Amino acid sequence: MQNIISGYGLGLRTEHYADFLADSERLRQRVDWLEVISENYMVPGGKPLYMLDQIRRDFPMVMHGVSLSIGGTAPIDVEYLRHLKVLIERIEPAWISDHLCWTGTDGLNLHDLLPMPYTERALRHLVERISQVQEFLGRKILLENVSSYVTYRADEMSEWEFIAALLQRSGCDLLLDVNNIYVSSVNHGFNPQHFIDAIPATHVRQIHLAGHENHGSYIIDTHDHPVCDAVWDLYAYTVRRLGAVPTMIERDDNIPPLNELLDELDTVRRTAMQNLPLQVGHA
């Protein structure tokens, strides 16, 4: 299967393996591409790799990692990159992404996507590490904005200024998570449209949409609900501002039958079509 990513995708989840194996022809009409979590397939063998190989035959794919810890301060884990490279050779993804975050320090892994301080020092640190990783892998990477629940005293700029500067200086691309922007905008009290406005459009290669848990005064990025109205509105704004960017729904918990996600993906498609600037054409 060729690897041209355009249109609308889903995150591949084990709950839907059987659907993708049994019904790939019909599903190809409704899902343009799939994103796989890299670490789920960085295993020696067995069912995960078997399923991956089968489904890859029928769908274009991108890879999405959670353990790179690009913002960490321990040396880049070359062993991890080597394993990642083996998987890249197996999948031949259109691109690979991870998160703009750190996951632990001092040899430990908290298995969380922890926010970076938005400082000049952190920028320099990231630019250096991104170039190391891109050089090792021989390809550009995408980094995703994470949601956050704290604000560092050390911050010298806003998250969007930080990300815009990082994209320009490092040359890496952005996986724009619209839900994460919304979550952070509620938690920190900023206008999410300002965030979108600040992002250089040429660097945005992929968009994530997801649901979250609303606790009133704050929101937790849980990926266990359908996309909410406020995030649909922000997505519409994003499409008007950035044009056609491959977009997918992320559902990590409380995973519904595939048909429900396909219906939700139709809503993504419809929302994008209705908001695309005319001169840009279709996704």
Partner 1 sequence: MKPVATLQDVFQGAVLAGDRAPGLFVREGLNEIGGFDLYINAYRARLAAALKDNYPVLHLALGDDLFDQLASAYIEQRPSRYRSIRWFGDGLREFIDQNPELLPHPALADLASMDWALRAAFDAANADVCRTEDLAAILPQDWPLMRFTLHPSVNLLELNWRIGPIWHALNQDADAVTEQPDALDHTLLVWRQELECKWRSLEIAEALALRAVVRGESFAEICEVLAALDSDLTESDPSMLAASLLSQWLSDGLLVKLTAFI
Chain contacts with Fe ion (rule: CB under 5 A)? 177, 208
Contact letters for partner 1, residues 54-73 (x by CB under 8 A) = -------------x---xxx
Least distance (Å) from partner 1 to the CB of residue 262? Answer: 26
| Contact mark string toward partner 1, 93..122, x via CB under 8 A | ---------x-xxxxxxxxx-x-xx-xxxx
The two tokens of residue 132 are 């190391």
In angstroms, rounded to a whole number, what is the distance separating the alpha carbons of residues 62 and 52?
12
Q: Does 77 bind partner 1 (CB under 8 A)?
A: yes
Binding mask 168-197 for partner 1 (x = CB under 8 A): -------------------x----------
- CB burial of residue 225 (10 Å; 0-12, 13-18, 19+): middle
Among candidate residues 125, 134, 12, the one with its CA nearest the CA of residue 61: 12
Q: Which residues of 64-97 are buried (b: 16+ CB within 10 A; e: fewer)?
A: bbbbbbbbbeeebeeebbebbeebbeebebbbbb
- CA of residue 34 relative to chain centroid, distance: 12
Residue number with CB closer to partner 1 (94 or 219): 219
- Pick one of Fe ion, partner 1, none as the site partner of residue 81 (Cβ within 5 to 8 A by kind): none
In the complex with partner 1, the residue whose CB is nearer, 107 or 138, is 107
Crossing angle of the two packed helices 120-137 and 78-91, in degrees rounded to 10: 50
Quick one: which segment of 47-55, 196-204, 242-250, 257-265 binds partner 1 (CB under 8 A)?
47-55
120 binds, among Fe ion, partner 1, none (CB under 5 to 8 A by kind): partner 1
Using DSSP, state whether 27 is helix, strand or coil.
helix
Residues in the site for partner 1, rule: CB under 8 A?
A: 39-40, 42-50, 67, 71-73, 77, 80, 102, 104-112, 114, 116-117, 119-122, 125, 149-156, 187, 215, 217-218, 220
